[in-house]
A and B are shown apart, each in its own frame.
Chain A
Amino acid sequence: MDIADPPPNKRARKSPNLEEDITGIRAILSDEFDEDIALIKAHSCQLETKQQLQAVIQELSQKLPHFQHLKRVHDRSVLICPSSEIGASLEQHLEQFAFSEHVLRALCQGVRVVEVPERMPRLRVQYEKTLKHWPCKFHPNHYSESLRNGSNFSSAQRIFHKRMAQLLVRLSRDVNANRPVGICVDPRQSNIVSIAGPGESPSPHEHCSMLLVDFVARSQEGGTTKAELPFTEDSKEVETTLRGIPKAYYDYLMNDEEYTDLTFGAERSRNCKEGNADQGADNLAKFGPYLCTGYDVYLLQEPCLMCSMALVHSRAKRVFFLRNSDNGALATRFQLHSVRELNHHYEVFQFTTKEDEELT
């Protein structure tokens, strides 16, 4: 890199003591996990006797099949329908549904408007808040809870992820003139598949994620990057390929004693597309490399919308990033991974630093 070294004090401010700087990892959950459940108004009635219950519930569930996520009965109150569906009066509204006479009478007794949760909670903390309003159904999900409280990673995994974050800081500073950098890892053996910084040319869209997915493609005998950038050669003995790693990064890591235990290389594309692995194995184990399927991506900077979507198209498994970007699309300006319509969703994690903790 021909960019002059920054003055030492500036460098020191950017990454003081790497080992201490990065303190943890937190999942960036989509809003449906993170936000309180919104409340909607609903009409309810008060039954006089418990004997009425069966008939009322039976007809309601057929004729007004609302509130699948709620318990329909609370004490002797029964949910009829969302208030927003009722026009002039409840009686008029119910007339359309041909209820039997005794049920209709029961539905018009002790009518109140109550507030109920709009949807089913995803996490226990949300569930507990909804209980104040109306009992709702809840299927606790151990994995989601662990993402929330950070117990999803073992301590060995946590150490590896943090190490990758430290590596990003080091590579950016020492090899990449303080520009962004990304690392793609096959988590099965923790092998580094690819490393990329942004393009050299003033191309406004050659961000490091875009190059990273192209270098992963190189490891699968694809890729479009021109030959000017020297890549690592494969040695004949090993089964994995180093083609996705530019030589500058590889040489830097090979010459650093701190990183002698890192492992490199991607599984080569399999010619045979027949899945033969155990049931329950993921697609990477079954079919071999395809785009970034099953791979983890570590980024120094939160990716922009273009890059975030490129990683969706590439079917990355998890995206870890260290620093927020002004145009970031996973936390700062948007949460692309929360968009349900997309045909692939990765998990998103951000490294926490001492600085964050001092701020809060």
Chain B
Amino acid sequence: MAAFMEEALVEARRARDAGEVPVGCVFVHGDKVVARGGNEVNIHRNATRHAEFICIDAILASCRERRLPARQLFSEITVVVTVEPCIMCSAALHTLGVKEIIYGCENDRFGGKTVVDVAAVVGQRIDITGGVRADEAMALLKEFYKGDNPAAPPQAKKKK
């Protein structure tokens, strides 16, 4: 499964090239990637458009189109994402009941495992594995945060 991290990193680089925080994600079903996405926060001016949500929405749209029950599909999906899902994404993935989460580097600012025990709050536990190609995921973030986030107000930039 961890081999799919390369696919997630491709999405993270794509997000970087679009001026977004470089986080990428793929949803894997069986041995196939069924959804892929990177952060789309800045383009939509919506701070919740994380890579995981792009994938969740893609799955839901395709289930609607093909009239398939989404819940069943989610329970068979492995989420592969370059950075530990944040509290919001982790809560969503726990509530949807995905099969497992594999992530790259930790997110010590708002990680859904490192900072808050999301599974305990939501009341649902799923398998989570971290540290897969963490250095590469972290390097992308570091490279990004050296520059300025073009969408953030100037004062927030100065603080860094």
Chain A residues close to B by CB (< 8 Å): 201-205, 210, 213-214, 217, 220-224, 269, 273-275, 283, 286-287, 290-291, 293, 304-307, 309-310, 312-315, 327, 329, 333-334, 336, 339, 341-343
Q: Mark B27-71, 1 if CB is under 8 A from A, else 0.
A: 000000000000010011111110001001000100010000011
Contact across chains for B45 and A220 when beta carbons are under 8 A apart: yes
List A contacts of B145 (CB < 8 A). Answer: none
Contact B91 A304 (CB under 8 A): yes
Min distance, Cβ A13 to any Cβ of chain B, angstroms: 29
Q: How far is the CA of A329 from the CA of B86 in the complex (A)?
A: 15
Q: How far is the CB of B45 from chain A (nearest CB, A)?
A: 3
- B153 interfacial contact with A, CB 8 Å: yes
B46 in complex: contacting residue of A224, A329, A342, CB < 8 Å: A224
Residues of chain B within 8 A (CB-CB) of A333 are 121, 123
Task: For A221, give the chain B residue with the smallest CB separation.
Answer: B45
Q: Does any Cβ of A come within 8 Å of B134's Cβ?
A: no
Distance of A205 Cα from B86 Cα, bound (Å): 15
0/1 interface trace, chain B 63-106, chain A, CB 8 Å (1 if under): 01000001100000000000000111101100110000000000
Report if A313-B121 is in contact (Cβ < 8 Å); known contacts: A283-B153, A341-B115, A342-B115.
no
Instruction: Contacts A283-B155, A306-B92 known; list 11 others, CB within 8 Å.
Output: A205-B53, A205-B92, A223-B44, A309-B87, A309-B91, A312-B88, A313-B88, A314-B47, A336-B87, A339-B115, A341-B108
B152 within 8 A of A: yes
Which of chain A's residues has its CB closest to B154's CB?
Answer: A273
Q: Main SS of chain B's interface residues?
A: helix
Minimum CB–CB distance from B158 to chain A (whole Å) comes to: 10
- Select A343's contact among B48, B96, B110, B123, beta carbons within 8 Å: B110
Return chain A residues, CB-CB under 8 Å to B5. Answer: none
Complex CA gap A299/B46 in Å reads 19
Report the separation of the CA atoms of residues A342 and B115 in the bound assembly, to the nearest whole angstrom.
8
Q: How far is the CB of B97 from chain A (nearest CB, A)?
A: 9
CB-defined contacts of B156 to chain A, threshold 8 Å: 283
Residues of B within 8 A of A (CB-CB), count? 37
With known contacts A283-B153, A286-B155, A217–B44 Cβ distance under 8 A:
yes
- CB atoms of B153 and A287 under 8 A apart: yes
User: Which B residues lie at the A interface, using CB under 8 A?
Assistant: 40, 43-49, 53, 56, 60, 64, 70-71, 86-89, 91-92, 95-96, 108-110, 115-116, 118, 121-123, 151-156
Q: Are A204 and B95 in contact (CB under 8 A)?
A: yes
Residues of chain A within 8 A (CB-CB) of B115 are 339, 341-342
Measured CB to CB, the closest approach of chain A to B52, in angstroms, equals: 10
By beta carbon, the residue of chain B nearest A224 is B44
Establish whether residues B110 and A217, one from each chain, have CB atoms under 8 Å apart when the complex forms: no
**Chain A residues with CB under 8 A of B118:** 305
A274 to B71, CA, bound (A): 47
Q: Which A residue sits closest to B43, measured CB to CB?
A: A222
Interface contact B48-A314, CB-CB below 8 Å: yes
Interchain nearest-CB distance for B101 vs A (Å) = 15
Give the complex CA separation of A202 and B63 in angstroms. 11
B25 to chain A, nearest CB (A): 15
Q: How far is the CA of A274 from the CA of B154 in the complex (A)?
A: 7
A202 / chain B contacts, CB cutoff of 8 Å: 70
Q: A290 — which chain B residues lie within 8 A by C-beta?
A: 151-153
Q: Is the CB of A273 within 8 A of B48?
A: no
